[in-house]
Structure formats: structure tokens, C-alpha cells
Amino acid sequence: MTGHLAVVGLGPGDARFLTAEAEDALASAQALYGYAPYLDRVAARAGQSRHASENREEPTRAAAALRHATQGARVAIVSGGDPGVFAMAAAICETIETGPESWRALDLTIVPGITAMLAVAARIGAPLGHDFCALSLSDNLKPWELIERRLDAAAGAGFVLALYNPVSRTRRWQLGSALERLRRHLPASTPVVFGRAVGRPDERVSVVMLEAADAAQADMATLVIVGSRETRVIDRTGRGPLVYTPRAAAEVSA
């Protein structure tokens, strides 16, 4: 019997953001693998085994799920947000590339989900309405000097930036350093959006200007969006502000 592995994006948290395809993949799986807090978001089903692991155990988790699937089982491995954005889909592909031939022959499905930058952007308006890029501030898998070069290039070229993994228990200084670096390229009045746990009960979204942006406003559940020179804020009486980036951009002078 041929097994199957589905890499499933759970979206930002609340069940209403889970796609029908993702729900079907979870319901049909005989075994679930994932980072423990993500597995906690998935309803328990009779006869379905659950294999939780810690956050930094992606290669081990991927290999375990692949081995299980090659035994003929239907396996799902879960990711928060979208599995292809700084998440488990890349870890699975990398593990398949370096693993046995049987893993390459496995039936594999990547099931997309709503990633954090889209969920935060939708809450606040349309900050990603023009060209943008996503950048992880984690230097666990790449040198900080490379992150600095990418921050310089993106801000200098006029991209809105979606900053994933801004801080963690062991990485407290990176976001502050990134914000300070961006101040070299962008006006003090550039909008910065801090979106925490969007789609969950403890959701919190705030907008500040770059000059006042403080890394202490972020934690492990936060996605940060830094606007470009074109990004605007619309104040609304009795309502929260709208942040958007116009679809048209001015010509860049040489």
C-alpha cells in the first residue's frame, strides 16, 4: 500500500481561516505530526495518532513523518500559517532531497494556508497593496550580515517589508537592530504595523511611526510590517486607522 504525506497550513489560528482542503487533509490522516502548539489547534479524532515535537526539531520531525508515510500510512504534518513560508514544506523538501529514494517516490501534497503577513495586512487595510517582500529576522539558519544586506536592499528599493520571526526567547536584539537600520533608509513617519496572534483570542494589532517603533512591542507571536515611502495612514473618527500602500508608485530618481 502506498502512503501519503500532506504538509498542511493551519492559517493564523482560528478555525474559520482553515481552508476546506486543509480540513479534508487533516480529517483523512491516520497520523499527525507537528510543533506541539500547532497540533493543539487541530481537533482530536478517533483512531488518529499525534506526534508532537519542539520548535527547532524540523528535520527530525520531517524525517519521522516521511518514514511513517512510507510504511503505507496517510500522514499529515502541520504548520502555522502557510507551510511554504518559512515553514515545514521547505524542511520536508530538503529532507526528501537528502533521504532515501523511497521518500522521493512518496505521494506528497502541500496544502496552502493563510500566512501571517496576509492576516495582519487584512486586519489593518492594504499595506501590501504594492510591491513587497517577506524577510525572516531569525539568524539561526543564515548570518545576520546577510539579513542586514537584505534589509538595506529592500528598503532602498521601495519594498514594503513583512518581518517574520522578529524575536524569540533567545533572540532579543535582532528586531531593534533591524528597525534602527531601516531608519537609515526610510522617513521617520513610515508606518509600522505590529500584528500579534491575529485570528486568535489574544489578537493585538497596533500602528506606530518608524521613529517610535520599539522592539518591545513584539514577541514570538508577532508579525511586523514596515511600510515604504509610499505607504499611507488614514485616520478614522471612532475607528482604527487604515494603512495602505497605493498601487501606483512615483518614479525613482537616480
What's 151's domain CATH number? 3.30.950.10
Question: Is the pLDDT assigned to residue 63 strictly greater than 60?
Answer: yes
What does the pLDDT look like over 70-128, one tens digit per residue? 999 999 999 999 999 999 999 999 999 999 999 999 999 999 999 999 999 999 999 99
Examine the fold and report which residue of 63, 88, 111 is the final residue of a domain before the chain moves on. 111
Question: What is the reported pLDDT for 251?
Answer: 66
Domain assignment present for residue 252? The answer is no
Domain assignment present for residue 254? The answer is no
Shared domain for 96 and 48, answered yes or no, is yes
**Helix or strand holding residue 33 (H, E):** strand 31-35
Shared domain for 73 and 50, answered yes or no, is yes
What is the tally of structural domains in the chain? Answer: 2
Examine the fold and report which residue of 79, 111, 143 is the final residue of a domain before the chain moves on. 111
pLDDT band for 54, please (50, 70, 90 cuts).
Answer: confident
Domain assignment present for residue 253? The answer is no
Domain assignment present for residue 183? The answer is yes
Domain assignment present for residue 45? The answer is yes
What does the pLDDT look like over 220-253, one tens digit per residue? 899 999 999 999 999 999 999 999 999 998 765 4
pTM of the complete model: 0.93
Domain assignment present for residue 44? The answer is yes
Side-chain-facing half-sphere of 246: CA atoms under 13 Å: 7
What does the pLDDT look like over 2-24, one tens digit per residue? 799 999 999 998 888 999 999 99
Full domain range(s) for residue 98 = 4-111
Angle at 12 between CA 113 and CA 158, to 5 degrees: 80
What is the rounded distance in angstroms from the CA atom of residue 8 to the CA atom of residue 20? 11
Examine the fold and report which residue of 111, 128, 159 is the final residue of a domain before the chain moves on. 111
Find how far residue 2's CA is from the centre of its chain: 31
